[in-house]
Amino acid sequence: MQKLFILACAALVMAGCAKQKDPTMDRSDFVAITDVVPDAILEIRYYSTYNFVGERIDGYEAPIALMTREAADSLRAVSDDLRRHGGYRLKIWDAYRPQRAVNHFIRWAENLQDTAMKRIFYPMVDKSLLFEQNYILARSGHSRGSTVDLTLIDEATGKELDMGSPFDWFGNESHPDYCGNPDNLEYSEQEGGLTSVQFYNRLVLRTAMLRHGFLPIDSEWWHFTLANEPYPDTYFDFPITQTEEQ
């Protein structure tokens, strides 16, 4: 009888632990993008030191890109479309981003003395204004698992399409409506602004992403989120690691 009582108590304890499992650490619905989109090219900037912080970002423990299965499947449709009709491949800079990485960005932004990468990524922006101007936020759509930062590679040349501004550039030049209206495909020439080719290249990416269920934002031409994202209210925090399944 005593043995049965002990086993019952143990079962209750285990059940209680199961109920308390942190949902932000559950990676069961995430996949490596290259498992679903094998044609994708990866350049995971936050795994490297070549980013606006200047060091590897917390949570990036492997140079892979993860997304929810739903988002990855939609990205596969984008990839197939662009390869078939344009001869382009997707190049991924970032996808799922752990909350701990966002927290790393916040700590960096609060340290106004650290401007090592200013010349490359934010030469025209005072670092003290990064929060005020929404370049750094406490929450990121990337942490919900269905957002991706990407560009296009021309298969014929092996080179990135010229988009007119680099990834993670802090400035108006990164806005999709810079030198035109992407909604009606109207280019507006400005002195020192984008060329018509650069504006068109952005539209190639944007149009394909919209066609397959992704939504853009108004500040970054490279950033897209699945419209029907499966976890709109969950900000995941598990680290990006290489697993046996990958």
Predicted pLDDT at 2: 52
Residue of 43, 155, 160, 220 with catalytic role:
220
- Which one-letter DSSP state was computed for residue 149? E
**46-102 per-position pLDDT tens digit:** 999 999 999 999 999 999 999 999 999 999 999 999 999 999 999 999 999 999 999
Contact 91, 41 (CB under 8 A): yes
Active site residue 55: no
Considering only residues 5 and 189, tell me which one the structure prediction assigns the higher pLDDT. Answer: 189
Q: Where in the chain are the domains?
A: 22-226
pLDDT in the model for residue 191: 92
Per-residue pLDDT tens over the stretch 151-189 = 999 999 999 999 999 999 999 999 999 999 999 999 999
pTM summary value: 0.90
The residues, any chain, with a CB within 8 Å of residue 97's CB and separated by 6 or more, are 46, 59, 140, 142, 143, 147
Domain 22-226 has CATH 3.30.70.20: no
Q: Is residue 92 within 8 Å of residue 43, measured between CB atoms?
A: yes
| Residue 215, CA distances (Å) to 46, 165, 207, 225 in order | 23, 20, 10, 5
Cα R_g (the chain), whole angstroms: 21
